[in-house]
Chain A
């Protein structure tokens, strides 16, 4: 595939962290699914904000507070446009995708889940979309059920009809699996769920960085993603919720900024989204998120996705050359990441030796132990891609794997 508009070398120049040696070797960063590196424009936006405009938001009458508030709320509007929500009040700022799910589980769950109710999740959820539901279900006497997956790492969506019933209150689903790279057919799930009046929450932490995610087109009811996996800073994330749902939900945490008036007898709450944003948020982080969205829009998310698809194809075919290679997850629709194991070599040993070759991959269970159990492994190695990766990075990984095999005499 030729990508005329997409100049990966020019993009790489925008990421200062990439230009360094690790253990005397040029850094090859293949761990963007864990966290993505930041372009200079994001780093500068944070520095500029602190140097010129920083103050607390939503409470000062002075100029700095007004400027900070204005810039912070402008990011909310930017996020709205980025995921095409219909109203800016549908954008709740949270610490990350994990907090977004906890917010929905706690707030929505405490109102709508009762004894005998069911929350339907999938077999390939990240722990962040399992544990919050287990916690609230346990409290409310409800239970978690699971959409199974096949050995390719694809969900068995033809079983939806038998899994969804009159007790199903919500479906929580990962858009793109962090551990398998599977792209789920979320439209099919949403269509089925809405046919029965059931809301759907999408964990889009691994899809927003790689593809155009349009909440109105998808029709999802809740969606979460993390700033730090989307070229932005840590500490900032987004919960999208349909306004009618958010307005009916009780607060998540109590504190400043989420109230309308407080006395010791009674407190009335602010409207959504501020009702869900107690305390001072990571203001500069969200300023950085705004710059990250600007960066993505400038490069073009479609161009980024096409570039990564090319890297993925290249990696999948080159990994096939390696003896003893077992790919974990071979879904037909995939994005972003490849998990694998090598015969006779534990992923931890692989990761240590690759690191000495300057290659950063993630090894472990990827916060998805049910997936590991499904495939009968304790851990995998995972290579994941972003806009700044190259085919040469993939080739370096393959060379590194050969070094590992030689080292262990495999």
Chain B
């Protein structure tokens, strides 16, 4: 059980990406030694001076399925985890690599004299993957909620066990084929406390639609909405389906339609600015929402960093309302979802279950 390779303080010993400055890394031969990891955490905390206080509001567990996935998620996890001080346990399980290996990297993040994040990255390949779950159980801080960021498909025994033990599980159905929403809906029907970054992505569309119907001269249309149509960029995505699912769950006998149009502008995603901008339109993201409430039609669409709501009746139409899209920073959506530390978002559950019913044809 003992680690057979000596610890290196701040220097990599395993193949792969360089660790962060101040990272302590250990490789285990057979199984994870949780006690050794706790000891390394203590050392990491005490480095650079007397042991400072540690502030934690949750256990943030990220379950990812290869190193590349972890690298893509790393910044968002760190930023979100700093906004919500936590112990971050990143479990990277790569069964595709046959050779067995088990490595733990440990570091801390300090802020204002306190430790605001303890980070443990457990990477396992081959059959060593089976050790990760029990290692995670041993490393959880007591008395704190456990929120799991799930990087895989929303199915399987592991996820079922996670659903039973976690206070909340956050997925991103926008990063997966929309057909997987059916599996998400099944879990939600059984009461799983799921959250979804794709759901957080459509908050501005929901706000614009709701605020537009609050305008005094447009309230008369609230009871007349008959049809909703969503256009997605390039391909039908989960965000569009969730938006329609939400509308269907809120408005009785609503006819819905979803389609894809155009393509995604890769160049716009490359722009780099001093001040963060709204996220560029991605594949499958919502580009237009149209609500038909005869004799009026409401068209919500995106123009650069704004969402605009146009209303047309017997006239040429006018711009009724607009909102600014929030600036996109790493971890923003995750940090939003982490504000709900336990339990279900009932609105999301209803929307996702309704969205799943729009599959497989989705009336495209």
Question: Do A and B truly interact?
Answer: no
